[in-house]
Amino acid sequence: KQEVTQIPAALSVPEGENLVLNCSFTDSAIYNLQWFRQDPGKGLTSLLLIQSSQREQTSGRLNASLDKSSGRSTLYIAASQPGDSATYLCAVRGGSNYQLIWGAGTKLIIKP
Amino acid sequence: DTEVTQTPKHLVMGMTNKKSLKCEQHMGHRAMYWYKQKAKKPPELMFVYSYEKLSINESVPSRFSPECPNSSLLNLHLHALQPEDSALYLCASSQDNSLGGQREQFFGPGTRLTVL
């Protein structure tokens, strides 16, 4: 059974720092991996989608990598800003019904 | 336009009420999803519609009844809910639900439901 883990559960860093969020999964047979951002009480915003055949995707200050063999993905945020404060969730598409299997999220706080 | 809209934003209902949640997208997506999210938890999949047909029901109680009137609209009919059903209900859509291709899911802002 596929399990997705995100460590750490919470992270607080000063503004301007580069940071890495981690996502690991137990079964390498995935179709894609998606990173989302969620602000408190709001919906989810899709940040990046990485197909199983890809190694990384970039959007602005965000870069996501995927290493299927080791069951890992990282989300790199460059030059962090207070507006980046949110909960970041990763989800892999796989499992018995090919739907998204979610990590519990990392709550990120960027201190001004 | 990558927008999924949901109405209402907030809903308070009693256990004997009947209400409906609505979701709409105009991206030409043929797969639409309902999720339930409790505080500080990831979303839980409830239903998947693919080409207007219900393809996945994750053993959701019958007090939740989905409906897909057309390719742009998705409803969730609520009846005789329990207080533990209080949650954020999220709608999402993707190009389709087949295994190939990107299948990126786009989410709406959610409906905050409170059952008294």
Is some CB atom of chain B closer than 8 A to the CB atom of A59? no
In this prediction, residues B1-22 reach a mean pLDDT of 92
pLDDT at B2: 66
In this prediction, residues A93-103 reach a mean pLDDT of 81
pLDDT at A94: 77
Give the whole-number percent of chain A exceeding pLDDT 90. 86
At residue A46's C-alpha, the angle toward residues A44 and A50, to 5°, is 140
* Confidence category of residue B86, pLDDT binned at 50, 70, 90: very high
Query: How many contacts (CB atoms, under 8 Å) link A and B?
Result: 50
Instruction: Indicate the Cα dihedral angle B112, A40, A106, B32, nearest 10°.
Output: 40
In this prediction, residues B52-64 reach a mean pLDDT of 91
pLDDT at B103: 80
pLDDT tens by residue, A2-13: 999 999 999 999
Q: Which residues of B touch A34 (CB under 8 A)?
A: 104-105
Distance (Å, whole) CA A99 – CA B97: 9
pLDDT tens by residue, A62-90: 999 999 999 999 999 999 999 999 999 99
Q: Which residues of B touch A104 (CB under 8 A)?
A: 41-42
Who wins on pLDDT, A80 or B15? Answer: A80
Residue A35 has pLDDT above 80, yes or no: yes
Strands (DSSP E) found in A1-112: 4-7, 10-14, 19-25, 32-38, 44-51, 56-59, 62-67, 72-77, 86-94, 99-102, 106-111
Residue A89 to chain B, least CA–CA distance (Å): 8
Q: Which residues of B touch A99 (CB under 8 A)?
A: 45, 48, 56
At residue B68's C-alpha, the angle toward residues B101 and A51, to 5°, is 15
Residue A97 has pLDDT above 80, yes or no: no
pLDDT at B56: 84
